[in-house]
Structure 1
Amino acid sequence: MRPTIVIAGATGFIGRWFIERYHTKYRIIALSRDEMEPDPDYDKAEWRQVELYSLSSTEAALRGADLAIYLVHSMHPSTRLHQGAFEDTDLLLADNFARAARANGLRQIIFMGGILPGEEDDYELSRHLRSRREVEITLASAGVPVTALRAGIIVGKGGSSFRMIRKLVERLPVMICPAWCTSETQPVALEDALKMIDYCLDRPEAFDQAYDIGGPGQTTYMDMLKTVAELMDKRRIIRPVGMFSPGLSKMWVSFFTDSSRALVSPLVESLRHTLVASDNELLRAFPDRIGFRKAAHRALYGKEDFPEVPRRKKSAHREKNTVRSVQRLPNPAGHTATYVARIYQRWLPILFRTLIRVKTEGDLSTFFLWGIPLLRLQFIPSRSDDDRQLFYIIGGRLVRRKDYGWMGFRRVLNGEYIISSIHEFVPALPWFLYVLTQANAHRWVMYRFGRYLEQGKAE
């Protein structure tokens, strides 16, 4: 009987190619934020809609799976307003996935992360690499064995990093390359990356292991540009300059490649490091890996098209003015989420000097301003524990939809931080007024609450 694999991030570059290559070997459950149109001619995977911000939705989506491949990176917001840094969102999504994997008894999670600099590197990790490492730790926190495959640039048709290289070569006859273009890196061919994922799946000796993966040789971003220019038969002048200006680099790479800053930033920030694969058992199991030149040629001229997936179903009605806020709060005392949620309700009236009052009756908490009920939260004990506190947003003058949103406190990274989050909140205020007032007020309140926790006053 074929093992069942669930792929989170299945509509992306790696997910699509894995389905294309291995749908006959595995039964595949492919996860997507959107519901897919039924397609009788498509039999490579079972597509399931999932809201990864919701633990219950994630648990349902993983039902029936034996193994998982986690390819999620929260670059694109799913609400009209998204407050918070991408690394905090990544942390929350990974925690949900780890809990859901444990609840469904999965045997293993494969995570595609990023190569980390060696100990000799004195630079601090970029935000992107630090986030990838945090996700790796978080996925393993629920007890399901994790295998982390840490890669640099993956070279293949449809890959965003290689697409940026190709676009730069296509559009710029002269390229002045900043210092980060000369950092050593070790790209890996798409075919090799897919084979390594397949090799590690359900292999006990790979459980709870991290492997750097890369091609047979090291190169630099500037040399990759030159190689691609040769393959495309483009005469290009490519010259290095001795400066590192990540902000300027992000602007010109984004402009000339039609790529979002969210996609460009991780590449530019990570390439300030030397990112080469350390020798390991997995690399030794694949001695005949494909070099960059051959991988780039396949990406440019390979006959296979980028794999298609079923069309997304058009939603009959989707709430437009939704808000998501994900805030990381320091937790130096290692408090439980239960404690922090309770302290928050006591602290808020202190912050506003009794203008705001919180009344708690059983599992219902109501926040009043001068006697006006602003917000009503319903605590959900059946979906809460000391690491996670869940509240449904069920009413109040600030709320337009009373059946839609939820709020939570989550203890993450061994209690080092608390993630405070609000999801699918629909404000009652007109949108422009909400953005100018209530949204900024919430951000400021959570910043002050974070300072309160950091200073150890929540004792």
Structure 2
Amino acid sequence: MKEKVAIAGATGFIGKWFIDTYHETYDIIALSRGEVKDDQYPSVEWRRADLYSLSSTTDALKDADYALYLVHSMNPSTRMNQSSFEDTDLLLADNFARSAEACGLKQILFIGGILPKESKDYSKHLRSRYETELTLGARSVPLTTIRAGIVVGPGGSSFNVVEELVKKLPIMACPQWCKSPSEPVDIADILNFIERSLGNEEVYGEAIEVAGPKVTSYMEMLEITSRELHKKRWIFSIPFFTLGFSKLWVALFSGTSITFVSPLIDSLRHDMRADKTQKFHWKGEVSIDRSIRKALFEDYPRINRSYETEEERNTVRSVQRLSNPGNKPAKWVADVYPRWLDKYFKFILKATVSGEIVRFHLFSIVLLELTYMPNRSDENRRLFFITGGALCKRTDMGWLEFRSVMKNEHVISAIHRFVPTLPWFIYKNTQALGHLFIMNQFNRFLKKQS
């Protein structure tokens, strides 16, 4: 009987390649936000999963033996997103770890990033990857992390930036970060490492640093790509490009959004070579020249995906990481929030609690009504459905939650799938800004608690 592997991020670069390579080896449960019409892999079971929802994620992981976690929240899935990718990644990882534990999975396998050895001053991208790793491994399901630098292969978005720069720019003045050493890994080697790790109890609870066969740099990758494309390019380094300017010109000439390019460049300023002293250190076999040739000229798996409905996208998500120096549980934070709000705004806003109903009033007007869900809450997570109020257009979709993460070092406050009554232009410039102001002030209050 085949083992069942659930893939979170199944429509991404590595996810599609895993499905294409191993759809006959494993019973694959592929998770996706939107509906997928896939006739190419009839044996693959596609399940819609909202990974922001704990209940949806738990339902999606039922019957799975192992899970492959390939999620990175670089692209917003709502009309308005008041969240950094670091905070969103933390929330998603906590949801996934909780769900995997509830479903009794044997192992979670995560593709993370190489951690620089010269400094703990990680880029936001690498720090987020490390926080995701810690959060996924914080519960009872064993975690195996494969830490890699740039993964090169057909359909890969990171290498696509290199390709587009070479195609569009005859002259490339490269800043110093382009010369940082790294060990890019071919997608075929990554897939081999994943297959080697799944169900391998020897690597449960371990981080494996993986590398390609050769140390190279981003600048050398540009040079190899130009040779493979038979493009004459003048590529040289200069010392005075700032990171900010680098992000702008890479985004402009690669046709890639700056939200994607920015964390990539921040990471490339580090020495991204794998640590050979690690207990587990695996080396790939595909040369960087061969890997780039494949990425340029070979086809890649394509999966027809339809995204969320307009109703689902036309919502608000707001995720904030709150300080928690006193290591208070989420229950305490959720309980103190309405009392603090009542005191902070005094005669303007008033919060009332009646049983499981929390209401926020502006004079006699109920702005928002929340209903506490005790059957879906615990000491470290408090869930409230948004069930009414003048500022809420839909009372059947949105929810607010507080949850403890990183061993109570932080508390995440999150609003999901909220539909405002106000027109979008007015909402963005009034209520949305007001919410951020309130959460920032609440965060200042929490910083003083110990």
Question: Which residue pairs with 2:105 in the alignment?
Answer: 106
Large movers: runs of 4+ above 3 Å: 39-42, 280-284
Instruction: Encode CA deviations 1:355-378: one digit per residue, 9 max, x unaligned.
Output: 222221111111111021111100
* Contact residue 397 and residue 418 of structure 2 kept, 8 A: yes
TM-score, length-normalised on structure 1? Answer: 0.95
- Matches for 1:55-454 after TM superposition, within 5 Å: 55-118=54-117, 121-122=118-119, 124-279=121-276, 280=278, 282-284=280-282, 289-302=285-298, 305-312=299-306, 315=309, 318-319=311-312, 321-454=314-447
Instruction: Encode CA deviations 1:322-376: one digit per residue, 9 max, x unaligned.
Output: 1100000000000000000000010001110232222211111111110211111
Tell me how far apart the structure 1 counterparts of residues 439 and 392 of structure 2 sit (CA, whole Å). Answer: 19
Instruction: Encode CA deviations 1:266-307: one digit per residue, 9 max, x unaligned.
Output: 2100011101011246545x5x611111111111223xx211
Tell me how far apart the structure 2 counterparts of residues 31 and 321 of structure 1 sit (CA, whole Å). Answer: 22
Tell me how far apart the structure 2 counterparts of residues 324 and 255 of structure 1 sit (CA, whole Å). Answer: 28
What is the one-letter code of the residue matched to 1:308? Answer: R
Question: Which residue pairs with 2:7 in the alignment?
Answer: 7
* Contact residue 363 and residue 379 of structure 1 kept, 8 A: yes
Change (3 A) 1:9 1:189: same
What is the one-letter code of the residue matched to 1:28? Answer: I
What is the one-letter code of the residue matched to 1:63? Answer: K
* Contact residue 19 and residue 44 of structure 1 kept, 8 A: no
Change (3 A) 1:320 1:33: closer
What is the one-letter code of the residue matched to 1:141? Answer: A
Q: CA deviation at 1:312?
A: 2.2
Tell me how far apart the structure 1 counterparts of residues 400 and 261 of structure 2 sit (CA, whole Å). Answer: 31
Instruction: Encode CA deviations 1:395-417: one digit per residue, 9 max, x unaligned.
Output: 01111101110000010000000
Change (3 A) 1:320 1:153: closer
Tell me how far apart the structure 2 counterparts of residues 17 and 178 of structure 1 sit (CA, whole Å). Answer: 33
* Contact residue 337 and residue 386 of structure 1 kept, 8 A: yes
* Contact residue 20 and residue 44 of structure 1 kept, 8 A: no
Tell me how far apart the structure 2 counterparts of residues 310 and 31 of structure 1 sit (CA, whole Å). Answer: 14
Q: CA deviation at 1:91?
A: 0.2
Q: CA deviation at 1:430?
A: 1.4
* Contact residue 36 and residue 311 of structure 1 kept, 8 A: yes
What is the one-letter code of the residue matched to 1:344? Answer: Y
Tell me how far apart the structure 2 counterparts of residues 188 and 128 of structure 1 sit (CA, whole Å). Answer: 18
* Contact residue 180 and residue 244 of structure 1 kept, 8 A: no
What is the one-letter code of the residue matched to 1:112? Answer: I
Tell me how far apart the structure 1 counterparts of residues 243 and 308 of structure 2 sit (CA, whole Å). Answer: 39
TM-score, length-normalised on structure 2? Answer: 0.97
Number of aligned residues = 449
Secondary structure of the structure 2 residue equivalent to 1:300: helix
Tell me how far apart the structure 1 counterparts of residues 216 and 41 of structure 2 sit (CA, whole Å). Answer: 39
Tell me how far apart the structure 1 counterparts of residues 265 and 242 of structure 2 sit (CA, whole Å). Answer: 10
Secondary structure of the structure 2 residue equivalent to 1:185: coil
Tell me how far apart the structure 2 counterparts of residues 370 and 112 of structure 1 sit (CA, whole Å). Answer: 51
Tell me how far apart the structure 2 counterparts of residues 427 and 225 of structure 1 sit (CA, whole Å). Answer: 47
Q: CA deviation at 1:265?
A: 1.1
Tell me how far apart the structure 2 counterparts of residues 301 and 313 of structure 1 sit (CA, whole Å). Answer: 28
Secondary structure of the structure 1 residue equivalent to 2:444: helix
Tell me how far apart the structure 1 counterparts of residues 164 and 410 of structure 2 sit (CA, whole Å). Answer: 40
What is the one-letter code of the residue matched to 1:366? Answer: R
For structure 1, list consecutive stretches of 5 or more residues without a partner in the other structure. none
Change (3 A) 1:297 1:40: closer
Tell me how far apart the structure 1 counterparts of residues 443 and 39 of structure 2 sit (CA, whole Å). Answer: 51
Tell me how far apart the structure 2 counterparts of residues 201 and 393 of structure 1 sit (CA, whole Å). Answer: 40
Question: Which residue pairs with 1:24 in the alignment?
Answer: 24
What is the one-letter code of the residue matched to 2:152? Answer: V
Q: Percent identity?
A: 48
* Contact residue 185 and residue 218 of structure 1 kept, 8 A: yes
User: After alignment, is 215-224 or 439-448 more displaced?
Assistant: 215-224
Q: CA deviation at 1:207?
A: 0.3
Instruction: Encode CA deviations 1:156-181: one digit per residue, 9 max, x unaligned.
Output: 00001111111111111100000100
Q: CA deviation at 1:313?
A: 7.1
* Contact residue 87 and residue 127 of structure 1 kept, 8 A: yes
Tell me how far apart the structure 2 counterparts of residues 229 and 336 of structure 1 sit (CA, whole Å). Answer: 54
Secondary structure of the structure 2 residue equivalent to 1:414: coil
Tell me how far apart the structure 2 counterparts of residues 313 and 248 of structure 1 sit (CA, whole Å). Answer: 33
Tell me how far apart the structure 2 counterparts of residues 399 and 319 of structure 1 sit (CA, whole Å). Answer: 15
Give RMSD over aligned pairs: 1.4
Instruction: Encode CA deviations 1:130-186: one digit per residue, 9 max, x unaligned.
Output: 000000000011221000111111010000111111111111110000010010111
For structure 2, list consecutive stretches of 5 or more residues without a partner in the other structure. none
What is the one-letter code of the residue matched to 1:401? Answer: R
Q: CA deviation at 1:98?
A: 0.3
What is the one-letter code of the residue matched to 1:86? Answer: F
